[in-house]
Structure 1
């Protein structure tokens, strides 16, 4: 009798033609990686030979080929008819008795004296390849118990080779239908119905940044993630510091996890959803040590396969054990060219209808089509924007007509997200109200080019696309081009641009957008008089027993994300520089901010850090930076003090930092910079050089204070110019004095990109670096290169 069964411990990657990509990968990991601590549920495979033997036993090969020959390959109008006929043909013939006997014997050997629950998963011989994953194209069945039930599930897996989506996928990828077989994996079930489950990518799934492990998870079975029915928890882990045994979890996002998929106790269905209890919704599905363990396993798997991977995990709620249940090559970003970036940008504003998680960085506009089922494909025309509650693999043929996807439900690892990345179209998922707020046939614009939040706008807005190829780009020889950045969401994408690091990371963006709360309102939460503000703070921090920890976590995660994106290059974090009127606008801020006639030159920057009105909040800033550097391992983070008026104030701030652990004595790699933006900084720069490790010129403030101009005043704004001789004299003096002291000095501002002659002036003076906003970086680099080329010789540069 021909053997149709292979145990997982008998197969490896060389057996793809025998057991398919999924089963070959499971066998490979079981044999090669178990010794490294990775746990995988045991099982066996019904081989491709089993499938071929089934077809030959009933002479089905010719009949199936004749069906495929009838397929309309222009518009696929008869796809449903052909697929249904092919599946019915397979299901109308039972598996041969000898095949059934081998499967049942293998199941009994796996289960022992009592029947156990198993997962029965399709594994096509053309799947899990680097260029085509076939993920979700074929059927899988969970919690199958008993030999006869396993036989029925295997039979259904055979039929799923001809699901409508699988047929269309093979057509799109150029696979010959008659040469692809189904193997079926029968694997012990992990009781994640009582625990949790999820998906990992060994790169950041939106940008393709390779040093991140992205983990998502839900309570119960992981099918809810794939189906996109709920928003999962998400965790980002940084590979280099993970290898250093640091706290490498740089982001933790709590999903709503509104439902939990569990096994049915009757025969009506195998699984169903229940509402997740409130206390579990507010709890992360994984503890930090479990996130770390999972990330370490992902790293081992990626290193073994030598390519980015898409991995499924499950945690048994009874034993508490973690398992890897699948691993396949990532098929989107791993195929892209390096050092090339396509940039999308809206050119006009519109009325925002809804928002959600942005998938990708593109923009699309078109006619909205509200779709409730994949059976409505006849209503969809190519280029329509599909708006729906959620999607599943059955939607694949219809989604391929879309220019964008918008869903009510789902996270970054949902089916809609995965398909959008594979198709190269934008998607906004997890909106909650998309099908309610968007009308059928409404012209809309879907934008994923504005950060991690994707927006849907009314109307067909104008937008532009720019292609950047950095492979042959000339870079400056002496003056470092740095970035000015505030939004952590854009950091991974921006890291692909030519740069030497981050010259200015604004802390205000993180406080304003990540935190939203005035830090003193957290310090003195119990004393707050504004009950509305108190209620809002309670709402935002409900999962935190200690309110101040909310600030430390949010700020440290924002800094760490940017530090990771540019690691090991320097990231200079400017400590908070809100003005009093800006701070007052934060939640709870009005109780802690004095009213000033001219906040621009009032209680801001360094003067706040040691003042009784703010120093308790500055302590939180220091703790956040300390966490990033010491616990998370980002020693590439430097700190910069803004608006420091006097030498004595500078020393006092450093003393305050040391009081909270930010000490150069205990951390020799810590560097503290001064923002040179007040004439006193320039006049006493030699003295400041004895206190600080580096300088960065804030050209906007230095210009306004040199010329005595309030840059917020429209009346005198025409006099504001960095090109004024007085300002250039101040700049020249600062640069020369820093160079004489042997200390780095850079400049942050728009002028060097807008004005080539100003860039020329800075280069001639010997500026060490220039920091640009992202949209000005490429023009700024060009100006620096041209400026350097105009110098008679490199000797003219003050290095």
Structure 2
């Protein structure tokens, strides 16, 4: 075997010191994972020894060492000057004939005697710490073809060892500059310029949640996506479903994919960016079968390495084949230990956001806007600024370290800006579309990433509180603490809190925020009169020939995100509980809702589900729940019927659900009923015969026991869950549930606000108490105290 070149097929992980982590990983996967059907493009690596011979032949070691010794290591004030001198020195070096011969011999063998297009990528390694990661510090070159281009690209990779960012990285991490060598990976190009490419993480890159494969994808070569130059398609695949061989892709989101990088013939640059077509922007760059295959490969790669992985992939547009082109350990969440979290809360009112985008992190930051267009703007960035840019790139790493937050027009959660923000422990908002246009240099802003999937930029400096919590210090309780949830995109983060699942997932929040359309307007779309609402519905559902599928798909995906986040703990989903005035606010809703004097006591909950005015809409809700449980395999989902006035009504609803494919008991389906009407308490034994459990809705039960409209400010002071009459109702239904062997929980604010109320529930023997996320920890404290006092 040559000391200067090693084929990927002969490389294993143990060769990191010879070829760097990137190339060692490719060789390892070819050797160990090809038999599992995972495609790795063939190639070869130039060795660290070849680089050292290059330095020695050109008498560069001492002169580079002397030049780097002049670097002002404390403030790096002369970094640009020193970096430039080093690069000029290496640029003037020449390959000796032996190196050229070996490089070109391997290239010819790779193409079986014909010049082929290859990717040329840097893979650095350190003598004293060969496993060190130098990801993103050095240059790569795509669509390199022919002997001259190959030698030039390898030479440029060598030069990139002395990029300013690479020098700074070694300084920051304590590496001796001349102990780091550069290997170069030469790999057959996958024609993703005609297909698509992207990045996958085997954990959620935001929260570190480990049960998902997160995949991003865009048209063309993958460089745009890595740089953050496009807003990609996104997919989440659930690992337990991958292993079961059932549908694992539980959520997908169409990205804008504004540009694509393709081959450029007859120019100095081997690649170029072109605008994507309308059809490309409006369609996913991978189909679901391809996402499923890719997710399966990613899980196998993670299992092989025993670590969360950061993986780059590419789809060849000619053959249709998918390839893994890089795999490295994920470095942000994979290395974290401990269970300490910080909770942020904005104090006081805030104005409408100036811009919105994808959130990175779950914190708040405020500061002065500094709009950056290029590295030439580095001098104007001050410590504590918020850097606002179209996109970022690795050359900016030094100035990004001064920022308290980053906001970009383009990019997704796997872009350079996102990765740097996580590594620096700051928040970011990416893919805003127009941040550089709407924000001004010197403007004071607050960047909030507290709203789950979406981040917001507010004008001015807002006030907030931050509290650090050690989750490892809370003891387990007999009474189950559970969540009341509405926003699915907070589920991953909240799953790390001490909990026993979700006692109430509010479907109506998902309908109003993610779907926004009245279900009957989708059922009867063709019958809608021409209106602005109909035009808006048509625009939103343009990719769906059957408009009903839009509702089913969006609802099932959002529910599945929560169910998967807490799997295998139970997640109790309440079927929609809008009131008529709230349903009417949905797009196309006014024509399907009757006017009511008192919607609180009118056509709501169970009474809607079998009524001709809404039955078909309920059918869409049921179909979405069937997909989540039966097709996605998330059988931890239980269903709950709200505002069920009579036992007969409960039976009607269960019969209707059965006709829509949701049969109580089938595939383990449990159906609960809300205990929120006095009749639910008085006839609790009869309700227990047809339902699997109860969940007390304390707000409605209080208002109906005391005869108070909880929306009325005039009598609001009489609304009191601690009233004797209310407590008598609560005690009665809890005891009946215990007597009949049915589970019973309560959803509400009172057990966190009033320790005595929590004590009462614990003493009565309630099974679970569900809290809003901001009240969970206080509620658990109250349960702990109550259980310690229980007599």
- The alignment's TM-score, normalised by the length of structure 2, stands at 0.98
Give yes or no for the alignment of 1:790 onto 2:789.
yes
* 1:130 to partner: Cα distance: 12
* 1:475 to partner: Cα distance: 2.4
Match in the other structure for 1:599: 599
Answer with 163-172 or 678-687: which moved more. 163-172
Give yes or no for the alignment of 1:328 onto 2:331.
no
**DSSP-derived class of the 2:451 partner:** coil
**DSSP-derived class of the 1:481 partner:** strand
Q: Matches of 2:83 and 2:349 in 1, distance apart?
A: 45
**DSSP-derived class of the 2:548 partner:** helix
Kept after mapping to 2: 8 A contact 1:131/1:331: no
Q: Matches of 2:765 and 2:174 in 1, distance apart?
A: 58
Match in the other structure for 2:254: 254
Q: Matches of 2:343 and 2:67 in 1, distance apart?
A: 44
Q: Deviations over 1:332-368 (max 9, x none)?
A: 0112124322222222333321110101111110110
Q: Deviations over 1:535-578 (max 9, x none)?
A: 11111111111110000000000110000000000000000000
Q: Matches of 1:682 and 1:175 in 2, distance apart?
A: 70
Give yes or no for the alignment of 1:470 onto 2:471.
yes
**DSSP-derived class of the 1:361 partner:** coil
Match in the other structure for 1:762: 761
Q: Matches of 2:183 and 2:377 in 1, distance apart?
A: 32
Distance 1:130 1:791, change over 3 A: farther
**DSSP-derived class of the 2:193 partner:** helix
* 1:112 to partner: Cα distance: 1.3
Q: Matches of 2:306 and 2:113 in 1, distance apart?
A: 40
Give yes or no for the alignment of 1:742 onto 2:737.
no
Match in the other structure for 1:385: 386
Match in the other structure for 1:632: 632
Q: Matches of 1:626 and 1:2 in 2, distance apart?
A: 59
Q: Matches of 2:308 and 2:522 in 1, distance apart?
A: 41
Match in the other structure for 2:400: 399
Unaligned runs of 5+ in 2: none
Match in the other structure for 2:93: 93
Q: Matches of 1:461 and 1:178 in 2, distance apart?
A: 48
Q: Matches of 2:202 and 2:74 in 1, distance apart?
A: 37
* 1:122 to partner: Cα distance: 0.2
Q: Matches of 2:652 and 2:99 in 1, distance apart?
A: 81
Residues 469-618 of structure 1 correspond to what in structure 2 (within 5 A)?
469-476=470-477, 478-618=478-618
Q: Matches of 2:531 and 2:598 in 1, distance apart?
A: 29
Give yes or no for the alignment of 1:191 onto 2:191.
yes
Give yes or no for the alignment of 1:652 onto 2:652.
yes
Q: Matches of 2:424 and 2:126 in 1, distance apart?
A: 19
**DSSP-derived class of the 1:728 partner:** helix
**DSSP-derived class of the 1:464 partner:** strand
Match in the other structure for 2:113: 113
Give yes or no for the alignment of 1:24 onto 2:20.
no
Residues 697-708 of structure 1 correspond to what in structure 2 (within 5 A)?
697-708=696-707
Match in the other structure for 1:212: 212
**DSSP-derived class of the 2:334 partner:** helix
Residues 50-129 of structure 1 correspond to what in structure 2 (within 5 A)?
50-126=50-126
Answer with 161-170 or 626-635: which moved more. 161-170
Q: Matches of 1:302 and 1:103 in 2, distance apart?
A: 32
Match in the other structure for 2:313: 313
* 1:260 to partner: Cα distance: 1.3
Match in the other structure for 1:797: none
* 1:386 to partner: Cα distance: 0.3
Q: Matches of 1:105 and 1:203 in 2, distance apart?
A: 40
Kept after mapping to 1: 8 A contact 2:340/2:468: yes
Kept after mapping to 2: 8 A contact 1:258/1:281: yes
Distance 1:247 1:175, change over 3 A: same
Counting matched residue pairs gives: 789
Match in the other structure for 1:428: 429
Q: Deviations over 1:158-208 (max 9, x none)?
A: 010111111112222222211111000000000000000000000001000
Answer with 71-80 or 102-111: which moved more. 71-80
Q: Deviations over 1:256-283 (max 9, x none)?
A: 1111110001122111111111112111
**DSSP-derived class of the 2:407 partner:** strand
Q: Matches of 2:122 and 2:718 in 1, distance apart?
A: 71
Kept after mapping to 2: 8 A contact 1:341/1:496: no
Kept after mapping to 1: 8 A contact 2:16/2:130: no
Q: Matches of 1:130 and 1:705 in 2, distance apart?
A: 70
Match in the other structure for 2:44: 44
Q: Matches of 1:304 and 1:145 in 2, distance apart?
A: 33
Unaligned runs of 5+ in 1: 793-799
Q: Matches of 2:641 and 2:80 in 1, distance apart?
A: 65
Q: Deviations over 1:636-670 (max 9, x none)?
A: 00000000000000000000000001013532x10
**DSSP-derived class of the 1:265 partner:** coil
Q: Deviations over 1:72-119 (max 9, x none)?
A: 222222111111111111011111221111101110011113210000
Report the aligned-residue RMSD.
1.3
